[in-house]
Amino acid sequence: MARIENYGNDQPTEHDAVKALADLVGPQMAEGLWGLSVQALGLRRPITTPADLRRVAEHVMEVGELSRVAGRSLKVRIITYEALARTVKA
């Protein structure tokens, strides 16, 4: 897991995403929604890259109201992480 020094932001993980979704819809539903989204996108678990995490988050957002909240939250976290990572590398 990559950490951006001086900002305290860890790279988002699939585990983080499923846990956040589970907090809203329960663990079984979260695993099901995540797994179906991964499969629908033709990806394989575990999802490890920020780009693929963002794709799955966007797909989850299309499923329903509560999943939209979790998906949007993950997407914002990924975008923030990527922006900070670019800033640190520059």
pLDDT along the chain (90 residues), means of 10: 60 90 91 95 95 92 82 88 80
9 DSSP β-pair partners? 4
Q: Where in the sequence is the domain holding 56, given as residue range(s)?
A: 9-89
Helix residue spans in the chain (DSSP H): 14-25, 27-40, 50-61, 65-89
> So what's the pLDDT on residue 4?
57
What is the C-alpha to C-alpha distance for residues 25 and 18, in angstroms, rounded to an integer?
Answer: 10
Q: Global pTM?
A: 0.77
Query: Helix, strand or coil for residue 10?
Result: strand
Residue 2 lies in a domain: no
Residue 63 lies in a domain: yes
Residue 54 lies in a domain: yes
